[in-house]
Each structure stands twice: as C-alpha cells, then as structure tokens.
Amino acid sequence: MTRDQALFQFLLRLGDSTLILSHRVSEWCGHAPVIEEDIALANTALDLIGQTQFWLELAGEVEGKGRSADDLAYLRDVWDFRNLLLVERPNGDFGKTLMRQFLFDAFQSLMLGKLLKSSDKRVADIAEKASKEVAYHVERSAGTVVGLGDGTPQSHTRMQAALDDLYPYVGEMFVSDAVDAVLIKVGIAPDPASLRADWDALVGRVMQDATLDIPKDAFTHKGGKTGTHTEHLGYILADMQFLQRAYPGAEW
C-alpha cells in the first residue's frame, strides 16, 4: 500500500464518520426535548458537515481521480464507506444520542490533538480548524452525560442502558491495521491504539461524575473502517443520496 492509498483510506475514515454522525444528529431537527437542545444538535450536525467537507475534499485530492467531496459523499455505496460502526447506530432516545456523541467526541478530540502535529500540513490544518469545534462538542456532550447520569433515577437508568448498548462499538476506534502502519511510519497519523489510555482516563472521569458503570467485558464489533457495515448504513445512504441518484448529473 502506498502512502497516498493509505492516506486516502484514513481520510475516508475521518470524513465518513463525521458525515454519518452528522446525518444521525440532524434526524433530531425539530424533535429535541427543549429548544436549546434543538439548537445545539443542529449546531453539532453543522460543525460535523463542515469537517466532512474538509476531509472528503482532501481525500478526493489525494486519490487523484478528480472526485469532489460531494462525489464521495453521494456516489459511493455502502461497502466503500469507512466510518465507525458506532456513528451509524440508530439515535434511540435523547440520552443514547448524547452518549454516542460523547464516546465519539472523546475519541475525536484525542485524534485531532495528535493530528495537529501531522507531517502532512493539509491534515494538520484541518485538524486545527476542527479541534476548536470538537473541544466544545466534548465539553457539551460530557456535561449532558453527567447531568443525565446523575439526574433522576429514570435518567440514570436510561443513561446506563445507553452506555451498555453502545460500549461494544467503542473498541473499533482503537483497532490498528495496515493503513495505520503506513501513516505511523511517515508521521502523518498516530497509532489509534495509542489513544486508548487517554480515552479510558477521560471517559472514566466523566462516567464517575455521571455515576455510571463502564461495562467490564464488552465484545468489540468491528468492520466499519474496512467497509463491512451494519444494515443501518444502507438506509442512511438511501435517504442521503436520493436526489443525486434519482437525477444523475444535475446541479443543485
């Protein structure tokens, strides 16, 4: 695998994860528990779309086949997507949506922190822009997880159920493979496995404040980063890609 082939895959992992999570978060539009949360969810979805545009545009450039960010988002099928399985999980209730957000934000903030020092300046520049937004995302999602975990008995029970349900999708974030090996070697990206200890520490502190128990022996589902997804992704793409597929070549 060449450096650019590996970088292309890595950029899809970043951009597809923000794209699919943005899609899920935007499904909340107009349905949140309180107006402030409607605004915050739309704002998060908007930030994630902005990051997607940067990552996928660079992915197209690195691939060198003339594909734009829109081409990559709208004209690939399920098996070409490289997002984490975690972000395609259905929203569930508001607590589950915010738990998924926090587990992802914690990872993304650590990943972007390392990418600030990437040997590829284009990657470092995007990480710089995104890390400011993600610092706010992780603060907000952590605060909400704590508020609901340590709220009423009902909110506590729901948040514990959300954590138990989503935890098997956490491990995939830290799996290293041949793509990572190439990028570690040239100093473009960190070994995902090396982020685990800091992630455990951050998530551990938040779950303690939230009075939630981290599951002990969670199984790790994986496959998203290499293109084997859950059944949910096909429906997300059917929704997202409808106009581009139904009216090929149109300008919007």
8-67: contacts with other proteins (CB under 8 A): 19, 23, 26-27, 29-39, 42-43, 45-46, 49-50, 52-53, 56
| End-to-end Cα, the chain, rounded Å | 36
Query: Binding segment for other proteins among 130-138, 146-154, 185-193, 225-233 (CB under 8 A)?
Result: 146-154
Question: DSSP state, 118?
Answer: -
Q: Does residue number 158 form part of the binding site for other proteins (CB under 8 A)?
A: yes
Which value, to the nearest 10 degrees, does the dihedral of the CA atoms of residues 87, 89, 92, 96 take?
A: -50
Q: Does residue number 242 form part of the binding site for other proteins (CB under 8 A)?
A: yes
Number of residues that bind other proteins (CB under 8 A): 52
Q: Does residue number 69 form part of the binding site for other proteins (CB under 8 A)?
A: yes
- For residue 182 the two structure tokens come to 């190439």
CB of 130 to other proteins, least distance (A): 14
Question: Do the beta carbons of residue 221 and residue 172 sit within 8 Å?
Answer: yes
Comparison of 28 and 199: residue with beta carbon closer to other proteins: 28
Question: Do the beta carbons of residue 195 and residue 175 sit within 8 Å?
Answer: no
Comparison of 217 and 251: residue with beta carbon closer to other proteins: 251
Among 83, 101, 144, 160, binds other proteins (CB under 8 A): 144
Task: Convert 57-85 to b/e letters by CB count within 10 Å (16 or more is b).
Answer: bbbbbbbeeebebeebbbebebeebbbbb
Measured over the CA atoms of residue 196, residue 197, residue 200 and residue 206, the dihedral's sign is negative
What span, in angstroms and rounded, lies between the C-alpha atoms of 15 and 250? 24
CA 9 and chain centroid, separation: 15
Comparison of 150 and 165: residue with beta carbon closer to other proteins: 150
Here's the x/- map for other proteins, 159-198, by CB under 8 A: it reads as ----------------------------------------
What span, in angstroms and rounded, lies between the C-alpha atoms of 161 and 56? 34
CB of 69 to other proteins, least distance (A): 6
Comparison of 54 and 199: residue with beta carbon closer to other proteins: 54
Comparison of 33 and 90: residue with beta carbon closer to other proteins: 33
- Residue carrying structure tokens 């259905």: 90
Question: Do the beta carbons of residue 113 and residue 131 sit within 8 Å?
Answer: yes
Comparison of 1 and 243: residue with beta carbon closer to other proteins: 243
Question: DSSP state, 194?
Answer: G
Comparison of 52 and 108: residue with beta carbon closer to other proteins: 52
- Kindly list the residues in this chain that would bind other proteins in the complex (CB under 8 A): 19, 23, 26-27, 29-39, 42-43, 45-46, 49-50, 52-53, 56, 69-70, 73-74, 93-95, 144, 146-148, 150-152, 154-156, 158, 239-240, 242-244, 247, 249-252
